[in-house]
Structure 1
Amino acid sequence: MTPFARRIELGTLFDDVADRGRPTTVHLSRPLDIAPGLGTVHALPALAGLVRDAAGWLAAAGAGRGDRIAIAKRDHWDTVLLCCAAARIGAVPAPLSAHLDADVLDTLLGRLDPALLVTDAARLAASWTAGRAPESRAARTLVLDGRAPGALTLDDVRGATAPAPYRPPVDRPLAIVHTSGTTGVPKLVAHTTRTLLRRLAGFEAHRWPLLSARPDDVVAGSFSFVHGRALAWTAVALTHGPRALLAIPGSRWDEAGPLLDRHRPTVVEAQPATFVRWRSRARAGDDHPFDRVRLFISTFDAVHPPTVRTFLAATRHPRPVWLQGWGQSETGPLTFRFLTRRALAAERERHPTTRDLGRPVPGRTRLRVLDRATLRPVPRGTPGLVVCATRALADGYVAERSRFERKRAGRWFMTGDIGVRTRDGRLLLLDREADAVPEGNGAAELEDVIEDRLPGVVECVVLSVPGRPSLPVAVTEHGALDPEAWRDATADLPELAEPVVLTWDEIPRTGTGKVRRAALRERLGLAPETYGTGRWT
């Protein structure tokens, strides 16, 4: 680990990288919401100045050391800048997804009890329409782009001088991020400087062969910038100092496409749902924005073989690599695996390669698999609950401490996933425990196989229905599916119900594009009960 990596600080991140003379230029797919007049191209010294300015705004709005600052605005990379500004004055930022329902946002704000809510007019309007008043959950509210009764505007705080930067003790809360919330209300995960920056970002900021950005790289990121990954990704990328950094909120091609096409990235990290939406833009032999990529990175959720295969085949790089990481908001990355064109060749057996998540991060994490009933270790090759040990484990859940402690047993933490450890130590992922199905090797494998065999199915979701065959939901571009093709593709699979066919926009999703399975079950009229217990969510 480099000396700089060991001392990454969130509050002064941009000052520190600017002082080191990093030549990185940041390009955005649209102007920052907090500074729309500054355009879409930014040098690091200018961004450092913007963070200092924002720190002045937050201080002028009444926030200070130890206060929680909730940030609930439409998704953009400036959420990271606001988190840095909050950390600079010693406050604890808590970014919240713009995709949260008004009731869920209200619940999370109640748990946070923030001294300051930073929000925008669209978020307030959506909550008011649903009969909620998020501004009532905070001592003070700062609206970035409008006015609200009793709230501050940017005009009220603009020009305020920022206090001197504050570096909190490494084991005090640094930032609060939330989980995806696929099965219900997200959990608020508190991380410290030690867990988030020293052990996660610091480890990744080491100069690793193949993985680290090079001076001539163009690094693109497209995922939810309220996620904890956004803070680590920004810190690591700026520490490495690539030629350019592309920050792209959302997966809409009309916004992302022009930026990617103009700058032709060499490293692309995105959430799997975004890669799925971009698949049609990456075709082998065509002139497209992914033709220079040497490294693809996916986190957040399961990625399916057709998606990986498409992008690896599309780039003109002679030996591209796909890094598939698996972890959680509470733990950071736990395993990783490199996928190549050869690894994604047609399967001779039905088990898809992307369910193989590789091995634990060497020297950083350990895994065990436990019996679901007795919670005792099971032999290699036997399915069970996956538990992990990592020194990067979060500090706890805000306002749900007992829930966090129920998932711990000494140094071991319950992930809530079902998997198998192979004889040589690799992890095969089967299901979330809460979403478990009885058929075959689990829902994840069935979904992979169906997507692999039916190119017109951009996503498949298998929902368990106790007492009946599991229900597959096939997502297609136009909401149509050839019944005969479906029967052929599923003939050798365990019995499934007739599929429900929906379009992408008809599926309820989280801010990272994950399917909100509980909400989908409700929408389809299914009972909430599954074969899982939900005890470990």
Structure 2
Amino acid sequence: MPSGPPRACCTSTGRSTSHPRRASSTTGPHLRRRCGSSRTVCTPAVCGGATGENHFDMVLLAAGVARIGAVPVMIAPANSLEAVRTMVERAAPRLLITGPGLLSRAAEAGVELADRSVRIVRVGPEGTGAAVPLDELRGGATAPVRLGGDDDLVVATHTSGTTGVPKLVLHTANTAIGRIPPRMERYRLPFLTTRRGDVVAAAVSFAHIRVMAWTASQLKMAPRKLVAVSDPLLANMEKVLEEHRPTSLETFPNVFQHWEQLVDERPELSAQTRLYVSTFDAVHPRTVRKFLNASASRFPTWGWGLGQSEITGIVANLFTRRTVRAGRPEATNLGWPMLVRLNVVDPETGQRQPRGKPGMIIVSTKARCLTYLGEDDRYQAKLNGRWWNSGDLGERVGLGRVRLLDRVVDMIPGISCIELESTLLERLDNASDVTILGVPGQAPVPVLCMRGNGWTRGNGSVPSPGCRNSPSRASSPGKRSRGRPPGRSAGSCCVSGFSARTRRSAAGNGHDPKRLESRCDVNWLPPAPVDLPSVAPSVSEPRDFRNGWFWAIVVGIALFWFLAYCLAIHRAHVDKRAGIPTVVVAINFSWEFVHSFVIDQEPAQRPANFIWFFFDIIIVYQVMKYGKKDFPKLSERNFRRLFWGICGYCAVQHYLMAYEFRDVLGMYSGVALKVGLSASFIITLRQRRSSAGQSVHIAVCKMPGSFLAGLNVFIIFPSHALVLFWFVVILVLDLTYVRMVFRQIRAEGRSPWVLNRPPVTDPVVHEQATAPAAPDRRRHHALLGALVPPPCAPGSNRERNTGRGRPPP
């Protein structure tokens, strides 16, 4: 903490256990049921803080209150008197511990913080009112230790209060600090957690649930120094940074944004900082970039976490200088789920949204709070089974990440206020803060807070409200508004599109637009027999078919393809020939990789893709071992280059197909692959002229597996005509292959239904082994001399008869 006497009077809440009383009727039974313990849930005590006062003593006093068996209810000092009074009434405390600042404010406003039956203890210097000073209670009897279980109620904090009076959130030891994600901070993770030589500083609200996890983690990690900052204003923060030079700094995103001016004026104060941490809210890329660039560390990092008081962490990410380059307003609102189950659903129907479509973020986690004190109905309204409604708007993107768009209550249809505010901050360097307000029926209104003299020459002139380039009408660059054509977003003025530009261009070239349209009149042609659909079938929503028949079909698909894979691996091992054609193995291996590790999948689909991927590893090994026999003109090195080259090319193509068609399931690329697979079996059978590596059993198992997959698509996606056509082609090819491989094995003199057939000899190798040897040239000439008489001697009768000096032919 800064040197000198603390200006913040630490406040903590406690409740005496000499008068145990159960919680109010709206929450008591629910709490006892959730805690799973017979321990009495006592009425919480409250600690209120003075205005502008915020001190780490609040945490220490809360720990002491919990140690004697009471439940501290921590209230931040920045709340209004009305909000404090309302929260105190909900808590119904036996004891109120507060500071002189809040007591003075309440006395001046004529507001009683609590009923006269509540005893008030003042922590800090002299103040007004009838509060008992804490020093007068020293020297009393030591209270007995009454520690509860890990699942018993231990603390109550409150929400931010952006939607009204803050709600009091009840946590156990497990939900506050014992579960993941809060527990992750107590592991030594590279670039993410505290080191022993660190100087760790935090400027947070010490009445917030975040400070519980922060305190527990820092006591476990034991850094060289801990600095708890009470006052985050620039003047005090400059002294703190100059004196302590922290290597790890944590605060809330809006406070970091307020400190940007300090980084601009004195960047040397952040030179030693290697790790920045911001939690609970979105952070703008400009803020992250300024702090990371000010650090002299070779690899400074920024840990960002989105969370709530009710469920702690939701998503998190790690930013570096590279990830927050200018021109990327969405760079810092992307994150991965923090080892919690997360889903994005339609706010009205509750159906899971496909990748790239905005929806409401719901979370299932074991770190969820017990309830709201005195407002259990509001708590239950945000629950749907085990899923918690976070109230955030987001969308699922690649690699399992989630993009935060906005709060549902602040949503402006078609745009992301977070990204729009980031864009304005990037363009207005002198702006300290930007807020976008949605006005019903009008364009969004930006509220700008400028430093110093406001608009400067670097900012340009103040744009007019109706200008297309006005900040109030700017859309997020690189971000297409949902349900609108490119270049148009909510609140932006847009010209009439392509036809208007065409007319202006034609008029500028001296041509009459109407004459151009008349020349292109094609009404004399007959009408087209088929109209294209207004919505592409590739993005149509699936039918709700999650019943017993659906799972029976899925199990059938998995079973038949599992048998086909196992039989192909077995036959390849026996015949020493690849059971599945090499090129198809490369394409399939890249498909499984992309849809297992690159593209997000349905919760039930991704584990299956992982299983098939590991099966493919075995098949790839067999291809590397036996596959070159199908390519005799290639060397071993060139064969491997060919295989992995096909894998790389097809991986890129699979990703682009899924991206282009928004095909999260990989249906189009996967079914097209199956068409090639069925055709390649037939081609391989004809090329090898034997059943080496193949069997009727493989063909028989593969055919019903593909048929059931087609049936599943027909039921769930009946509008996908191209995919269904491909499955018909697959069925025809599979029937043809079954007949061909059956006849081939019969022609080899084997029974097609014997599972353990002897190894099949390659007919090409067999013919080369039995071909006759080349004849001996000398023996050939001797035989020819015995059959053909030698030439006649000169002057003989034969020579005279023929008239030639050589024998007749």
Coarse TM-score class (shorter-chain normalised): 0.7 to 0.9
Residues 285, 331 of structure 2: 8 Å contact kept: yes
Give the structure 2 partner of residue 83 of structure 1.
Answer: 62
The more displaced of 64-73 and 161-170 is: 64-73
Counterparts of 1:120 and 1:130 in 2: how far apart (Å)?
16
Residues 34, 78 of structure 1: 8 Å contact kept: no
Q: Which has the higher helix share?
A: 2
Aligned runs of 1:65-104 on 2, under 5 Å?
A: 66-73=42-49, 74-104=53-83
Alignment-mate amino acid for residue 68 of structure 1: P
What's the secondary structure of 2:446's corresponding residue?
strand
Residues 92, 173 of structure 1: 8 Å contact kept: yes
Counterparts of 1:203 and 1:335 in 2: how far apart (Å)?
13
1:325 pairs with 2:305 = yes
Residues 459, 474 of structure 1: 8 Å contact kept: yes
1:278 pairs with 2:259 = yes
2:238 aligns with one of 257, 280, 286: 257
2:120 aligns with one of 106, 123, 141: 141
Residues 272, 296 of structure 2: 8 Å contact kept: yes
1:153-176 deviations in whole A, cap 9, x for unaligned? 223212224324321122221110
Give the structure 1 partner of residue 448 of structure 2.
Answer: 474
Residues 420, 474 of structure 2: 8 Å contact kept: no
Residues 89, 114 of structure 2: 8 Å contact kept: no
Cα separation, partners in 2 of 1:34 and 1:441, compared to 1, 3 Å = closer
Aligned runs of 1:364-383 on 2, under 5 Å?
A: 364-383=339-358
What's the secondary structure of 2:257's corresponding residue?
helix
Residues 359, 426 of structure 1: 8 Å contact kept: yes
Give the structure 2 partner of residue 185 of structure 1.
Answer: 165
1:354 aligns with one of 314, 332, 347: 332
1:47-99 deviations in whole A, cap 9, x for unaligned? xxxx9xx99x9759989983412111121111111111111111111111111
Give the structure 1 partner of residue 90 of structure 2.
Answer: 111
Identity of aligned residues (%): 34
Cα separation, partners in 2 of 1:449 and 1:386, compared to 1, 3 Å = same
1:364-391 deviations in whole A, cap 9, x for unaligned? 3011111122122111111011100111
Counterparts of 2:433 and 2:359 in 1: how far apart (Å)?
26
TM-score, with normalisation over the residues of structure 1?
Answer: 0.78
Greater Rg by CA: 2
What residue ranges of structure 1 are gaps of 5+ in the alignment?
Answer: 1-26, 37-50, 498-537
Give the structure 1 partner of residue 420 of structure 2.
Answer: 446
1:157 pairs with 2:137 = yes
Counterparts of 1:72 and 1:106 in 2: how far apart (Å)?
10
Residues 251, 277 of structure 1: 8 Å contact kept: no
Shift of 1:220: 0.6
1:131 pairs with 2:106 = no
Aligned runs of 1:184-223 on 2, under 5 Å?
A: 184-199=164-179, 200-223=181-204
Counterparts of 2:45 and 2:227 in 1: how far apart (Å)?
27
TM-score, with normalisation over the residues of structure 2?
Answer: 0.52
Alignment-mate amino acid for residue 307 of structure 1: T
Give the structure 2 partner of residue 396 of structure 1.
Answer: 371
1:225 pairs with 2:206 = yes
Counterparts of 1:110 and 1:480 in 2: how far apart (Å)?
44
1:403-460 deviations in whole A, cap 9, x for unaligned? 111111111000001110114221111111111112x422111111101111111111
What's the secondary structure of 2:197's corresponding residue?
coil
Give the structure 2 partner of residue 512 of structure 1.
Answer: none
Cα separation, partners in 2 of 1:215 and 1:450, compared to 1, 3 Å = same
What's the secondary structure of 1:136's corresponding residue?
coil
Cα separation, partners in 2 of 1:105 and 1:175, compared to 1, 3 Å = same
1:319-369 deviations in whole A, cap 9, x for unaligned? 00001101100111111101000001122xx6421121x1101xx301111
Residues 223, 250 of structure 1: 8 Å contact kept: no
What's the secondary structure of 1:296's corresponding residue?
strand
Give the structure 1 partner of residue 433 of structure 2.
Answer: 459
What's the secondary structure of 1:183's corresponding residue?
coil
Shift of 1:125: 2.1
What's the secondary structure of 1:288's corresponding residue?
helix
Q: How many residues align?
A: 447
Give the structure 2 partner of residue 384 of structure 1.
Answer: 359
Shift of 1:138: 6.2
Shift of 1:283: 4.2
Counterparts of 2:135 and 2:56 in 1: how far apart (Å)?
22
Give the structure 1 partner of residue 722 of structure 2.
Answer: none
Residues 198, 248 of structure 2: 8 Å contact kept: yes
Shift of 1:35: 8.9
Cα separation, partners in 2 of 1:60 and 1:473, compared to 1, 3 Å = same
Give the structure 2 partner of residue 515 of structure 1.
Answer: none
The more displaced of 469-478 and 75-84 is: 469-478
Residues 15, 71 of structure 2: 8 Å contact kept: no
What's the secondary structure of 2:332's corresponding residue?
helix
Shift of 1:492: 4.5
Counterparts of 2:221 and 2:444 in 1: how far apart (Å)?
46
1:189-215 deviations in whole A, cap 9, x for unaligned? 100011112115433212222222111
Residues 267, 294 of structure 2: 8 Å contact kept: no
What's the secondary structure of 2:259's corresponding residue?
helix
What's the secondary structure of 2:374's corresponding residue?
coil
Cα separation, partners in 2 of 1:279 and 1:147, compared to 1, 3 Å = closer
Alignment-mate amino acid for residue 218 of structure 2: A
1:243-279 deviations in whole A, cap 9, x for unaligned? 0001002321222222221121111111112211211
Give the structure 1 partner of residue 738 of structure 2.
Answer: none
Residues 285, 329 of structure 2: 8 Å contact kept: no
Counterparts of 1:449 and 1:29 in 2: how far apart (Å)?
39
What residue ranges of structure 2 are gaps of 5+ in the alignment?
Answer: 22-40, 464-468, 476-488, 493-809
Counterparts of 1:384 and 1:58 in 2: how far apart (Å)?
42
CA RMSD of aligned residues (A): 2.7
Counterparts of 1:317 and 1:383 in 2: how far apart (Å)?
38
Counterparts of 1:269 and 1:68 in 2: how far apart (Å)?
29
Give the structure 1 partner of residue 148 of structure 2.
Answer: 168
What's the secondary structure of 2:115's corresponding residue?
helix
Counterparts of 1:462 and 1:105 in 2: how far apart (Å)?
29
Cα separation, partners in 2 of 1:479 and 1:71, compared to 1, 3 Å = farther
Counterparts of 1:393 and 1:241 in 2: how far apart (Å)?
27
Residues 48, 99 of structure 2: 8 Å contact kept: yes
1:415 pairs with 2:415 = no
Cα separation, partners in 2 of 1:35 and 1:398, compared to 1, 3 Å = closer
Aligned runs of 1:506-525 on 2, under 5 Å?
A: none
1:425 pairs with 2:425 = no
Alignment-mate amino acid for residue 212 of structure 1: T
What's the secondary structure of 2:438's corresponding residue?
strand
